[in-house]
Structure 1
Amino acid sequence: MHVTHLSLADFRSYARAEVELGPGVWSFVGPNGQGKTNLVEAVGYLATLGSHRVSSDAPLVRMGADRAVIRAAVVEGERRQLVELELNPGRANRARLNRSSQVRPRDLLGVVRTVLFAPEDLHLVKGDPGERRRFLDELVTARAPRLAGVRADYERVLKQRNSLLKSAAMARRHGGRGVDLSTLDVWDQHLARSGAELLAQRLLLVDALRPLADKAYEAVAPGGGPVGLEYRGAAAEVASREELYELLLGALNEVRPQEIERGVTLVGPHRDDLVLRLGQLPAKGYASHGESWSLALALRLASYDLLKEEGPEPVLVLDDVFAELDARRRERLAELVAPGEQVLVTAAVPQDVPDVLSGARFAVTEGRVERE
């Protein structure tokens, strides 16, 4: 899979941008703050319906504009598709596929597939559990786009359930009339049902990633492993959907008094974590800076290998990564990704792009993208 054309309108710093691409390595080089990352961020947004830099769409719309548009032509084998997203902060985003508007944004998932390496990846190792849950869920959705609907259902039910619990907690604290909790059993069932499906996919994913992550870490940092991945939550082993449903339902019932007291849902995939280990120790709190970087890179490389095994080869995006790495890791990473069908690289100076990734180059300056 590769992108042949990227078109932006009022996205980030670009009033307009038209970039012709193709297979192979493509580098975007220019000083910081000139718009390099904005280009690859747009490609990543088409793949995940989210940004790796911000959590909302508002910062993605150019100042003074009320919407932004990302459009890309994509080739997969003999198949060519045109995907388009219109970002409307505060309103529903709109999607088009092959010029048809009879699609939802999440229907675009799977048309563009990317694996993105960025400085923010360090948070996968050192950050909060939410960073690792997001990593898992984006990869789950890349493997099976239908899971986007399951994730949306889970978030909707969780919001409704939390609202009911919060009302009950507030009433208890202020001595008011008790809140009717008769619907809580129904919300529990809905949460456990969608949660079991999401949990099942996460557990299958972690099982598939374990050997790939260990192999990738050895490639990036020979002799530094082994790498361990441990899912931590209400269930930690692959089981049937019905078994996971019953586990979640039982866990919700067990903590219900505490939930009513605190006003929040305490059990479910939204509370789980992926524990990363190097040797016998958890990476968070014990791994050095270099080890943490190597582990983050290994997770991305494992993701790439997994997606490539199961479907179209993803576009590899390396956003200002090489400046963060020492010479050894820089060269090893470059050698590993160089054979990719399409590799998009951003760098502040040409020297940050390893020789093995020499290819077509764009100069990015003050929002202008010019082929060198």
Structure 2
Amino acid sequence: MHVAHLSLHDFRSYATAEVPLGPGVTAFIGRNGQGKTNLVEAIDYLSRLASHRVATDAPLVRAGADQAVVRAAVVKDGRTAVLEVELNPGRANRARVNKSQLPRAREIVGLVRTVVFSPEDLTLVKGDPSDRRRFLDDLLVLRTPRLAGVRADYERVLRQRNTLLKTAGAARRGSSSQESALATLGAWDSHLATYGGELLAARLGLVDELRPYVGKAYETVARGARRDDADLAYRPSLELPEQRDPRALSAAVLAEVERRRNDELDRGVSLVGPHRDDLLLSLGHGAGPAGDETRLPVKGYASHGESWSFALALRLASYDLLRADGDDPILILDDVFAELDTERRAQLADLVAGAEQVLVTAAVAADVPAALAGVRYTVAGGEVTREPGGADPAPDAGPDADA
């Protein structure tokens, strides 16, 4: 799979942009603030309907414009399809495939798959649990697009339930609407448990599948590491049953919600469910006093280099897992080489150079390792200019190609 042409209208800093692309490596070189990351961000947005840089769509629309459009000709198994997303902040986004509008924009998720390496990846290790939950859920949706609906439904139910908990909590302090709020809350408990059980089952399965890939990747990128040094484990907000199927997990969520009813009413927030879970990352640090291996959480104990190696391992593991599904995802290396030492630069470049399509951004050409030589564009002053030399990128697949 690769993107053969990218078209932007009122996206970020671009009033318009037309960028031919092709298989292999393409690098966008430009000083900070010139718009190079905006190009790869647009491709990643088509994949997930989310940005790796901001939490909402509003910053993605050019100042003064009402909407933005991202369009890409995507080639898979020799066939070309044109994917398009219309971003409408404050209103529903729209998505099209070959000019036909989809019933819901989220149905475009997963039609193109991306894995992004960026300086923000360090938050996977050092950031809040929400960063690690987002990492898991984004990967889940790329592998199983229907889970985008489960995720959206869970978040919708959670918002409504939190509102009701605040109302019911106030009712316990003297409001007359207590009985009504509590009766309504019961129905939302059931919805939370249903969607939560399905999401929880999917996350648990993903962590089990991802674990060996993370160990292998960490061994590759960390100096002197062993395959079993890096580990990850899912930490739920409730005690899990022996059965890990969605129905059993939903029943466990519902039982725990009912058990903690008074705590939730006191605090006015949902305390049980996948939104309270975390992904625990740990490293082995040799034998302890009793001869057994000592494992410590990466957050708070790992060095800066170890933290970076673990973050890279998570992204490489995601890439390998997606490849195992049968698709070569598009790799995006967004200003990541400036954050790495020379050895890690070379290791990462060698690992990803064989991908079907690699998109690189860098402030200076010297930051791009020799193993990633390919087509290069200079990005400056809102202009994207191809540098001389290199193979021509996919000249026959323009923005209006049809499947």
Q: TM-score range by the shorter chain?
A: over 0.9
RMSD: 1.2
- Amino acid in the other structure paired with 1:215: K
What does 1:235-274 correspond to in 2, within 5 Å?
239-274=244-279
Give the one of 320, 332, 353 matched to 2:335.
320
Show the counterpart of 1:215: 216
Asked whether the 8 Å contact 2:10–2:16 carries over to 1, the reply is yes
Asked whether the 8 Å contact 1:97–1:103 carries over to 2, the reply is no
- Amino acid in the other structure paired with 1:348: A
Deviation at 1:23, TM superposition (A): 0.2
Show the counterpart of 1:229: 232
Match status 1:356 vs 2:361: no
* CA–CA separation in structure 2 for the residues paired with 1:107 and 1:242: 25
Q: What TM-score do you get using the length of structure 2 for normalisation?
A: 0.90
Change (3 A) 1:254 1:38: same
Show the counterpart of 1:192: 193
* CA–CA separation in structure 2 for the residues paired with 1:230 and 1:238: 17
Show the counterpart of 1:339: 354
Superposed CA offset, 1:270-317 (max 9, x none) = 010001001100000001111111000000000000000003110000
Show the counterpart of 2:393: none
| Secondary structure class of the residue paired with 1:103 | coil
Show the counterpart of 1:91: 91
Asked whether the 8 Å contact 1:96–1:103 carries over to 2, the reply is no
- Amino acid in the other structure paired with 2:4: T
Superposed CA offset, 1:210-259 (max 9, x none) = 00000000000143351110100125677111211111111111111100
Which has the higher Rg, Structure 1 or Structure 2?
2
Superposed CA offset, 1:133-181 (max 9, x none) = 00000000001000001011111111111111011123334x3224220
Superposed CA offset, 1:53-94 (max 9, x none) = 000111001011110000000011122110000101111111
- Amino acid in the other structure paired with 1:362: Y
Structure 2 residue runs of 5 or longer lacking an equivalent are 285-294, 388-403
Asked whether the 8 Å contact 1:203–1:238 carries over to 2, the reply is no
Asked whether the 8 Å contact 2:94–2:102 carries over to 1, the reply is no
Show the counterpart of 1:275: 280
* CA–CA separation in structure 2 for the residues paired with 1:359 and 1:102: 35
- Amino acid in the other structure paired with 1:272: D
Deviation at 1:183, TM superposition (A): 2.3
Q: How many residues align?
A: 371
- Amino acid in the other structure paired with 1:370: T
What does 1:285-304 correspond to in 2, within 5 Å?
285-304=300-319
Query: Which has the higher mean CA deviation after the structures are superposed, 315-324 or 77-86?
Result: 77-86
Asked whether the 8 Å contact 1:125–1:284 carries over to 2, the reply is yes
Superposed CA offset, 1:119-140 (max 9, x none) = 0000000000000000000000
Show the counterpart of 2:176: 177
* CA–CA separation in structure 1 for the residues paired with 2:251 and 2:343: 49
Deviation at 1:98, TM superposition (A): 0.7
Asked whether the 8 Å contact 2:8–2:16 carries over to 1, the reply is yes
Deviation at 1:182, TM superposition (A): 1.1
Show the counterpart of 1:56: 56
| Secondary structure class of the residue paired with 2:19 | strand
* CA–CA separation in structure 1 for the residues paired with 2:307 and 2:37: 23
* CA–CA separation in structure 2 for the residues paired with 1:129 and 1:342: 31
Asked whether the 8 Å contact 1:200–1:238 carries over to 2, the reply is no
Asked whether the 8 Å contact 1:35–1:365 carries over to 2, the reply is yes
Q: Which runs of 4+ in 1 moved over 4 A?
A: 235-238
Asked whether the 8 Å contact 1:204–1:238 carries over to 2, the reply is no
Structure 1 residue runs of 5 or longer lacking an equivalent are none
